[in-house]
Amino acid sequence: MMHAYCIIFVSQLLSISGAMESSIVGGRVAKPHSRRYMASLQVRGHHTCGGILIREDFILTAAHCRQDEQLTVVLGAHDITKKEKSQQRIEVKQHYPHPKYKGQYDNDLMLLKLKKNARLDKYVKPIGLPKKDKKILANITCEVAGWGLTGDNRVVSDVLREATEKMQFSFECKYIWGEYFKSEHMICTAFTKKKGGVCQGDSGGPLICNTKLYGITAFTREEDCNNPKYPHVFTKVHAFLPWIKEVMQGLGDAE
């Protein structure tokens, strides 16, 4: 696989990564097409990031997933190495990175306008945005999903994998990540090595809690994503609802 990491150095001893290679470490193979909102963002047929279909013409993902080359969204996929009949391949028409995203970790989200509407069927269906900022209690079990590296040897998985992680208290995230964790814009999860979770990868993929979309995979500890001492961090979807709705109504500025 192409190794294209978005690395941010926090200090000489600690760095965080929002890798553009989707990779669930551990976890399990997802039931084919059970997550109809999942998208694979690809360049020249190569998977670079995850994404979330939130309307038939819009994908929500991480801003650091932006590519200089043409992005193609693949929907309805289970095995991204095969040309499954369920798959729809649609090019991206416009990129809408959050205007306050500065190339690092805060405000790390982006909307992608598709060149044509996705065909909604038994393989492809948007996930609804949360209605309001309903607080999720710590220790609630949430789900993550993505394609890519898995296991102790980081072997590539061509099929969609999923894992569970538990919501963490913000003060615990702040204690570990310091100034790089912004509680108003981010949420984080605790996990175990046994159950696994997101890794240098899964960027732009979803954090699902109580069947609702709560987060977008943002960053982990660089090259140590499976260390339970370092919570995984997600962009908080609730915090950006006004901006998301503004863009989808045609009021945002594209890049």
State the catalytic residues: 64, 108, 203
- Tell me if 213 sits within 8 A of 52, measured CB to CB: yes
* Residue reference for tokens 């609702």: 212
- Tell me if 113 sits within 8 A of 224, measured CB to CB: no
C-alpha pair distances (Å), 66 with each of 57, 113, 134, 210: 18, 13, 29, 29
C-alpha pair distances (Å), 250 with each of 92, 132, 159, 179: 16, 21, 34, 34
CA 180 distance to own-chain centroid: 18
Q: Which residues of 12-39 are buried (b: 16+ CB within 10 A; e: fewer)?
A: eeeebbbbbbbbbbbbeebeebebbbbb
